[in-house]
Amino acid sequence: MDLKSQVYTGTDCTEAQLHPLGPGLAAVFTQRAPDSTEVNEDSCAIIPYSEDTGVLVVADGAGGLPDGAQASQITVQTIRATLRAASKKNLELRTAILDAIEKANREVQKLGLGAATTLAIAEIQGKRLRTYHVGDSQIMVIGHTGKIKLKTMSHSPVGYGVEAGFIEEQDAIMHEELHLVSNLIGFDAMHIEIGTAIDLSPKDTVIIASDGLFDNLRSEEIADSCRSSQLLAVNRKLVDACHARMTSAEDGEPSKPDDLTIITYRRSSVDSATNSDAASSAAD
């Protein structure tokens, strides 16, 4: 069965777009930083693997290094191509994902430019979720009451400090070294962090996003936005809140203008939108 992927590279959305994936729906928004004249260095994709499995992908090109946009594009396109080939061979999805990440790392290194990108992948297998990530693009799972069920760790000095208890999470978002990342696709020492598989409840919201989200909104603010029953409304709330922070700095609040990519996913149709509605709104 030839299931169509949706890939966004160098894209500026005006509204989030819905796509079916397995037993659920994904809402995708990606846009360059406010007032930026540069290309959006984030790339993302919705990649089906079978009728009830697939992956959600976000890659954020490293802005402090050359050709971040090219690095993120190559990474997402390599993952799509590798998974497509693996699905025809009926390879296990986890194996295919790991092979795809390793291949993407080699392809970015072949550029010979010192380019690099973060990468976050959510593997969907029916009601099961597993995470894979490299860098500081992160993945969260939020329950319908706003409870944070999962949040991946940022591969950065600040992220490791929070994990070790040296830095309070509420202080991390204002830390002067928040921009530093210690693990990227394109690095010789790149390593993949694989999460434990968890079950998703019908109204759980999965969020995969670049640091344009996590450097502007605190975890509890992100979680509070997921109380809405509408998936598109969740995505819109997060985007609007990020843009407000990026464009209007207030004392004591984070404000980091940056490219922004947010994918939100729910495994059951709690939205009024149907899979056919999502398909008709999909961007090629």
199 found inside a domain: yes
89 found inside a domain: yes
Q: Which domain holds residue 145?
A: 6-281
Nearest of 259, 203, 245 to residue 227 by alpha carbon: 203
- Report the alpha-carbon distance of residue 81 to residue 107 in Å, rounded: 12
CATH of the domain at 165: 3.60.40.10
Residues 79-111 have pLDDT tens digits of 999 999 999 999 999 999 999 999 999 999 999
- Sequence length of the chain is 284
Largest CA distance in the chain: 55
- Number of domain units in the chain: 1
Q: What phi and psi, each to the nearest 5 degrees, are found at residue 50?
A: -155, -170
252 found inside a domain: yes
Q: Is the CB of residue 251 less than 8 Å from the CB of residue 223?
A: no
Q: Is the CB of residue 57 less than 8 Å from the CB of residue 47?
A: yes
Strands 138-142 and 205-209, bridge-based pairing: antiparallel
Residues 234-282 have pLDDT tens digits of 999 999 999 999 998 788 899 999 999 999 999 875 444 444 444 444 4
pLDDT score of 174:
83
69 found inside a domain: yes
pLDDT score of 269:
54
- Report the alpha-carbon distance of residue 105 to residue 190 in Å, rounded: 8
> 2 falls in which pLDDT band (50, 70, 90)?
low
pLDDT score of 252:
83
Q: Is the CB of residue 30 less than 8 Å from the CB of residue 42?
A: yes
- Report the alpha-carbon distance of residue 222 to residue 239 in Å, rounded: 10
41 found inside a domain: yes
Residues 164-217 have pLDDT tens digits of 998 887 788 888 887 889 999 999 999 999 999 999 999 999 999 999 999 999
In the numeric block, which tokens belong to residue 257?
A: 């203008």
Place of tokens 């796509």: 19
198 found inside a domain: yes
1 found inside a domain: no
Residues 109-165 have pLDDT tens digits of 999 989 999 999 999 999 999 999 999 999 999 999 999 999 999 999 888 898 899
For the entire predicted model, the pTM comes to 0.92
43 found inside a domain: yes
| SS3 readout for the chain | CCCCCEEEECCCCCCCEEEEECCEEEEEEEECCCCCCCCCCEEEEEEEEECCEEEEEEEEECCCCCCHHHHHHHHHHHHHHHHHHHHHCCCCHHHHHHHHHHHHHHHHHHCCCCCCECEEEEEEECCEEEEEEECCCEEEEECCCCCEEEECCCCCHHHHHHHHCCCCHHHHCCCCCCCCCCCCECCCCCCCEECCCEECCCCCEEEEECHHHHCCCCHHHHHHHCCCCCHHHHHHHHHHHHHHHHHCCCCCCCCCCCCEEEEEEECCCCCCCCHHHHHHHCCC
Compute how many other C-beta atoms are within 10 angstroms of the C-beta atom of residue 35: 8
